[in-house]
Amino acid sequence: CSNGWRWWNRKNKKALALASFYEAFNLNSLQPGSVVVVTTQSGMTIQIHKPKEEGRG
């Protein structure tokens, strides 16, 4: 996520939160078929799955 994109979307709280989440957990490097599971201090679990690309593998 580039700082320019972040600056442009600074008024859109949802976009900024998503960009921050991607940056914090380095989700751009997530390989197809991989899963990341994050549990917050309050116990909420967030699971992110990057599907395998169709026609490959």
pLDDT at site 11 = 67
Q: Is 49 helix (H, G, I), strand (E, B) or coil?
A: strand
Q: CB under 8 Å to 47, separation ≥6 — which residues?
A: 35, 36, 37, 38
pLDDT under 50 in the chain at which residues? 1
pLDDT at site 2 = 53
pLDDT at site 5 = 54
pLDDT at site 22 = 86
Please say whether the dihedral angle defined by the alpha carbons of residues 52, 28, 43 and 13, taken in this order, is positive or negative.
negative
pLDDT at site 37 = 92
pTM of the entire structure?
0.55
| Cα-trace Rg, the chain | 14
Helix ranges (H only) for 1-57 are: 3-8, 13-24
From the list 34, 36, 41, the residue with the least C-alpha distance to 24 is 36
